[in-house]
Structure 1
Amino acid sequence: CSSPDHLDVRLGFDLCVQEQDFLRKRQKYVAPVLKKVLQLEQDLQDHETPVVAIMTTGGGMRSLTALYGSLRGLQKLRVLDCAAYLTGLSGTTWTMSNLYRDADWSQKDLDKQISEARKHMIKCKINSLSLDYMKYYKKQLCQRKREGRKTSFIDLWGLILESLLHDGKDNHKLSDQQRAIDRGQNPLPIYTAVNIKNNYSTLDFKEWVEFTPYEVGLQKYGVFVRTEDFGSEFFMGRLMKKIPESRICFLEGVWSSLFSFNVLYIWNLSHSSEDFWHRWTRDKIDNIEEEPPLPPKPHELKTHMFTPPGPLGSVLRSVLTNRLCIAQEHNFLKGLQMHNDYLENKRFCRWKDTVLDTVPNQLTPSDEFLSLVDTGFFINTSIMPLLKPERKVDVILHLNYSAGSQTQALEQTCKYCSEQGIPFPRVDLSEEDRKNPKECYLFDGAETPGAPVLIFFPLINDTFQKYKAPGQKRSESEMEDGEVNLYGHCSPYSTYSLQYTEKVFDRLLHLGEYNILNNEELIMQALHTAVARKRQKRK
């Protein structure tokens, strides 16, 4: 359904007009490139051009770095030019929001962007918790409070992230990224989070939230607001109080809130210590999956457990209106009536996976605030927006940057889709695949009508140890460059590590690129399969 003219939210499960317009423009760009890449004899008609998406998982600075490498590999194969969507959560959203500052980033050599990322990855991070920065954080948080926001510890985390990844204040906003897609010149970015409820675990209650440069919305309800209006106050679909759009660092804090509750631990560790950062990374070297499991109720992570002395404690006490490790934003669904016939709508049922879905008056429209957390609190995946039937995604490149088990997030996604009745390829992995995964897998989804073709890239160091490029063996002096110790207690790539050496950064970057280039054949096979399916469907 379409929104009545008098409403300031968009109601309906269809894609917004701007995204539909983007897809038409992108398709005109993709079709000739795909013809060339696949060496097809005939031009691709609109109905024959597959919708290709690049999907990433989180993993802190490891995922930020490896994604740059993967994208450079996909750019060299011209597969990046064939993609309509790029999705992220947690650490990969940091890469994405950096890239989309440049309106033509995918058309350019990525070296400049990578150099900038490298500079911030190798710089000393101790200044981020200096007294000057604390004053800046306090000023920014006070401003948000005056604007009418419910400031939380996640806002502070967003500001710390800004200092870790940038030089000074970053005024970029998510809606600014419309410039990077208005001509269909880059894939459309989709950032993800989940909405949760106090007193319910993420297993019992979570709702997928998607953020694009055009809209923010909950796909379960089919309710969306313009990105510029996200965070403003709404009632019954009407804008009641306009609040200025957040700078993107605050959204990055939401998308990566999994890491936020460590900031206070860092502070305690760092108090009056010059070498704290090295001790921090050494003490926290365990990977996320090797530590005790994340709490199923993120709202129970209360920061006052660690409230530190000194300037940071004063910022926390004076500015933050709650101590929860979740972001609370004004709820744009507030006051909307969820009728029983709506709850039976098949497009609502597709995402009906919470214990409250049969109790309309306890669903999100009855809440004052949305409670948003990192998607990684449930499953480390950004795939859900791509499984909306309205997006008609044909091929998904699944780039995994998790620590620990390389197959866990994919298998959890597969199980979730099966339970929800969402078409998804059958993922057959042996015990050997789980223990020693290959560089790339192709799951064509032939057995599941409506399922996309899936190309799965675990983050592993296999043939890269002996080859510096596909088919080019390393010399004796180059063997050291192939040593990328991704996991385990001596790895510099711990999920919580915030600083790399130049060598550590470059090796992971090159590994990410190599694993893409070395599996060109499987990627092309997936694209051929998708084109053949589109053509067959038309007959």
Structure 2
Amino acid sequence: MAFTNFEIFALASTTDTGKTVETSPCYLLTVEVIRAKNLRRADIFSHTDCYLMLWLPTASSIHFRTKAVENSKDPVWNETFHFMVQSKVKNVLELSVHDEDNISRDDHLFTVRFDIAGLPLNEKVLMQFKCNPKSRQVCCLEYEVQGKKAQKSKQKLSFMVKGSHEGHHECSLGSDFCISPACQSAFHYVKYKQPTLDVKLPKKDLDYVFGPCAYNREEGSLQAQISSLPTKKKIMLAENNEFSLHVKTEDCQNVLDVRLGYDLCSQEQDFLDKRKKIVAEALKKVLGLERDLQDHEIPVVAIMTVGGSTRSLTALYGSLQGLKKLNIIDCTTYLTGFSGTTWTMANLYKDAYWSQKDLDEQINKTKRDMTKCKANGLSIECLKYYNRQLCQRKQEGQKTSCIDLWGLLIEYLLNDGEDNHKLSDQQQAVNDGQNPLPIYAAINVKENYSTMDFKEWVEFTPYEVGILKYGAYVRTEDFGSEFFMGRLMKKLPETRICYLQGMWSSIFSLNLMYVWNLSHSSEDFWHKWTQDQIVDIGEEDHLPTRAHDQKSHLYTPAGPLSSALRDVITDRLSVAQYHNFLRGLQLDNSYLEQSNFHRWKDTVLDSSSPNQLTQSEEYLSLEDAGFFISTSSAPLLRLERKVDVILHLNYSAGLQTRNLEQTCKYCAEQGIPFPKAVLSEEDKNSLKECYLFEDAENSEAPILLFFPQVNDTFRYYTSPGVKRSESQLKDGKVDLSSDSSPYSTYSMTFHPEEYDRLVKLSEYNILNNQHLILQGLCSAVERKKKVQEIKPSEHRDA
């Protein structure tokens, strides 16, 4: 994790008791609790006196506990506990850490729940739990204004707590102000930031002010140090003959609504368990294997698509049709997309069993949408509908932009009416492992920075939305809601998927920098105008240094001309803005040493300006990943997904190898295992339908099958091995690249025959390269077997 985390170290082992019971053999579980590191303080008045409690309800009704270690955030216990467990029941051991308190109730810091099923028999295992709570303590300041008599004129009290989630409140004292509580609300703030409550009062003197407050009679303002206020006790802060102000502070619960950690969520892990059975059966059939594959021999296969508006929308249907005819879809675990391919994916996953059915119905339905007149999308009736929808979205608490209008246009393009489908609805299509798990890719950008200098990969699944670099995820249902310090503060309605489709394919997010890079091979000239000038400066040697300490930097702001030029060439027409679920979280002081953070660390601010990273922003600024690299591969390159084979389906315009070369370069710079996909000049000038790339020296690099969008042998064959007749030759002429091509990225309508030809071409290119696909799958299976032979212990789940 990139954020502050806690760790527990323990040794655990299970031992055969030798007393086998026919229906429920028993084992002796031994747990030696060693130590914990970097525990937070439960309160500001004393250091932690922590103990650890162990509870295994399937083995004992007793809660066991260690001794309390006084005044230590790194307690060492070295205590051993034993449990008699049954192997045929679900045994989940709970380890909870508490701070002992002689005056009040002990503080419960956090609990780890560990399934012991993965422990090997008769072998001791060192377990290290990174418990991630949790950033810093969040507190709540409640205030209440009580009126004493009716007011003749309206007056306002203004409340502010800088750095809090709410920021600012106002309370009106008007003619309806009566003796009952007229105004009450709350601020959520970081406990240890020494926050203050600032109150702007009506121009009337106060008769009473509580001790820790500073009252400025001339300005009519009141300021209170919140840390000086008593906890869990309602007090009167100030009053006069018209009203009184009461406040109360409390600690908030430490349960986070943001999941911190780089592991896959439990729902995806459950999906993988179910999908693995389907994949194993399909691979056995497709590869003609004589025996079932063992778990460690089953490769993770992914379909990775590249966007391109309606061209990619249409072509993906053809590719999937070909993969289905070869029974390859059932061999795959993931399907990723961005831009136009997300339109196809969103349509497919409305059907919970789409991959088990013939795709002809879906293809024909989309054909009707692609060939219909689009002029009605800008009719008066449609414009009124768009306005109502955007107003409703704004009322729900979301920011709106032309990206949202684009999403509504996509809704019209792909549907016959309003589409209330949401991303979380797609859980129904994967909960039984019946389809590949869909993953939608986007990037988070920053104002006044090009994507060369700042971009962060964001992934969307039916289960979670998260930013890869930080290892921070929220439930898909909660994406777009208001968060603070990892807590869900205000639940907003889940966004309809059409708005996400607008963001995933946000053509309005381009800037002059992107246009320049697209049309020139060298970006150095303009890039130097957009970069911050940051240099290392010397430090005195007498200061102690640690491995994670950063060097001091000198930041020099740009001059007026450079600033103006930078604003022009990096300004985007619009981005999709959603409430930032990372807002307020704190980076751990050794965040740069986190291997997963470092894997995706590629922005100019990561090392030099951590205070300006995403956790400080109120909103995420999301756009089409194609404004960085036209690929949806990033989610598949997470180590935790262990992808072995990638089917790279390319539908981009222009140079077909551009995004592949960019991906190879990016992975090399980031140290991400990826095959060296090098094509000869001859191949670049005359591309084939498919290429297989494999890094024999690095088994962690996935096997890559690259399908450029070309019209090669399809010109002469209707299907593999079946030549076209003279009358059929016209159907083989699919113009993909000329200036007059009907398949331009900006083409929103196809003629029926144009649509059919693109679907058939994409299907044919898959079918005609069945041998290469099977070769890649066979290589992956053999590689998995070899890895098991060399390192058998690495395939144990522990």
Q: Judge same fold: TM > 0.5, yes or no.
A: yes
Structure 1 residues 373-522: aligned runs within 5 Å: 373-522=623-772
- What residue is the counterpart of 1:268 in the other structure? none
2:425 partner letter: D
- Higher helix fraction: Structure 1 or Structure 2? 1
Structure 2 SS opposite 1:455: strand
1:217 counterpart (456, 466, 488): 466
- Residue 261 of structure 1 deviates from its aligned partner by 7.6
1:251 counterpart (500, 504, 511): 500
Are the aligned partners of 1:445 and 1:454 in contact in 2 as well (CA < 8 Å)? no
Residue 78, structure 1, aligned to residue 327, structure 2 = yes
**Change over 3 Å in CA distance of 1:292–1:145 after alignment to 2:** farther
Aligned equivalents of 1:53, 1:121: Cα separation in 2 = 27
User: Structure 1: which 4+ aligned runs deviate by more than 4 Å?
Assistant: 2-5, 259-262, 288-303
Aligned equivalents of 1:479, 1:72: Cα separation in 2 = 22
Residue 537, structure 1, aligned to residue 796, structure 2 = no
- What residue is the counterpart of 2:432 in the other structure? 183
2:771 partner letter: E
1:36 partner letter: K
- What residue is the counterpart of 2:376 in the other structure? 127
Are the aligned partners of 2:449 and 2:570 in contact in 1 as well (CA < 8 Å)? no
Aligned equivalents of 1:412, 1:299: Cα separation in 2 = 26
- Residue 343 of structure 1 deviates from its aligned partner by 2.6
2:575 counterpart (326, 333, 341): 326
1:397 partner letter: L
TM-score by length of 1: 0.89
Are the aligned partners of 1:9 and 1:238 in contact in 2 as well (CA < 8 Å)? yes
Structure 2 SS opposite 1:7: coil
Deviations 1:157-184 (A, max 9, x none): 1001101111010000000000000000
Are the aligned partners of 1:258 and 1:377 in contact in 2 as well (CA < 8 Å)? no
Are the aligned partners of 2:508 and 2:575 in contact in 1 as well (CA < 8 Å)? no
Moved more, 334-343 or 105-114: 334-343
Aligned equivalents of 1:220, 1:64: Cα separation in 2 = 29
- What residue is the counterpart of 1:149 in the other structure? 398
Aligned equivalents of 2:691, 2:570: Cα separation in 1 = 40
1:187 partner letter: P
Are the aligned partners of 2:509 and 2:575 in contact in 1 as well (CA < 8 Å)? no
2:732 partner letter: G
Aligned equivalents of 2:436, 2:695: Cα separation in 1 = 23
Are the aligned partners of 1:400 and 1:457 in contact in 2 as well (CA < 8 Å)? yes
Computing the radius of gyration from Cα coordinates, the structure with the larger value is: 2
- Residue 433 of structure 1 deviates from its aligned partner by 1.8
- What residue is the counterpart of 1:168 in the other structure? 417
Are the aligned partners of 2:508 and 2:573 in contact in 1 as well (CA < 8 Å)? no
Aligned equivalents of 2:751, 2:508: Cα separation in 1 = 21
- What residue is the counterpart of 1:336 in the other structure? 585
**Change over 3 Å in CA distance of 1:177–1:256 after alignment to 2:** same
Deviations 1:91-129 (A, max 9, x none): 000000000000000000000000110000000000111
Aligned equivalents of 1:429, 1:373: Cα separation in 2 = 30
- Residue 258 of structure 1 deviates from its aligned partner by 2.2
- What residue is the counterpart of 2:355 in the other structure? 106
Are the aligned partners of 1:331 and 1:369 in contact in 2 as well (CA < 8 Å)? yes
- What residue is the counterpart of 1:365 in the other structure? 615
- Residue 291 of structure 1 deviates from its aligned partner by 10
Structure 2 SS opposite 1:454: strand
**Change over 3 Å in CA distance of 1:54–1:259 after alignment to 2:** farther
What fraction of aligned residue pairs are identical, expressed as a percent? Answer: 66
- Residue 302 of structure 1 deviates from its aligned partner by 11
**Change over 3 Å in CA distance of 1:290–1:102 after alignment to 2:** farther
Root-mean-square deviation (CA, aligned residues, Å) is 2.2
1:212 partner letter: T
Are the aligned partners of 1:485 and 1:491 in contact in 2 as well (CA < 8 Å)? yes
Are the aligned partners of 1:216 and 1:225 in contact in 2 as well (CA < 8 Å)? yes
1:55 partner letter: M
Which consecutive residues of structure 1, in runs of 5 or more, have no partner in the other structure? 263-285, 304-322
2:455 partner letter: K
Structure 1 SS opposite 2:606: coil
Are the aligned partners of 2:510 and 2:573 in contact in 1 as well (CA < 8 Å)? no
How many residues get paired? 496
Are the aligned partners of 1:340 and 1:360 in contact in 2 as well (CA < 8 Å)? no
**Change over 3 Å in CA distance of 1:302–1:121 after alignment to 2:** farther
Which consecutive residues of structure 2, in runs of 5 or more, have no partner in the other structure? 1-129, 134-253, 531-565, 790-798
Structure 2 SS opposite 1:438: coil
2:288 counterpart (27, 39, 64): 39
Are the aligned partners of 1:2 and 1:10 in contact in 2 as well (CA < 8 Å)? no
Structure 2 SS opposite 1:228: helix
Aligned equivalents of 1:234, 1:432: Cα separation in 2 = 53
Are the aligned partners of 1:87 and 1:382 in contact in 2 as well (CA < 8 Å)? yes
Are the aligned partners of 2:322 and 2:763 in contact in 1 as well (CA < 8 Å)? yes
Are the aligned partners of 2:345 and 2:438 in contact in 1 as well (CA < 8 Å)? yes
Larger RCO (CA within 8 A; separation ≥ 6): 1
TM-score by length of 2: 0.60
- What residue is the counterpart of 1:196 in the other structure? 445
- Residue 259 of structure 1 deviates from its aligned partner by 5.8
1:78 partner letter: N
2:630 partner letter: N
1:523 counterpart (773, 776, 779): 773
Deviations 1:435-487 (A, max 9, x none): 21111000012133410000000000010000000000001111111010011
Deviations 1:370-413 (A, max 9, x none): 00010000000000000000000000000000111010000000
Structure 1 SS opposite 2:333: strand
- Residue 344 of structure 1 deviates from its aligned partner by 1.5
- What residue is the counterpart of 2:304 in the other structure? 55
- Residue 353 of structure 1 deviates from its aligned partner by 0.4
Aligned equivalents of 2:521, 2:679: Cα separation in 1 = 25
Moved more, 346-355 or 441-450: 441-450
- What residue is the counterpart of 1:312 in the other structure? none
- Higher strand fraction: Structure 1 or Structure 2? 2
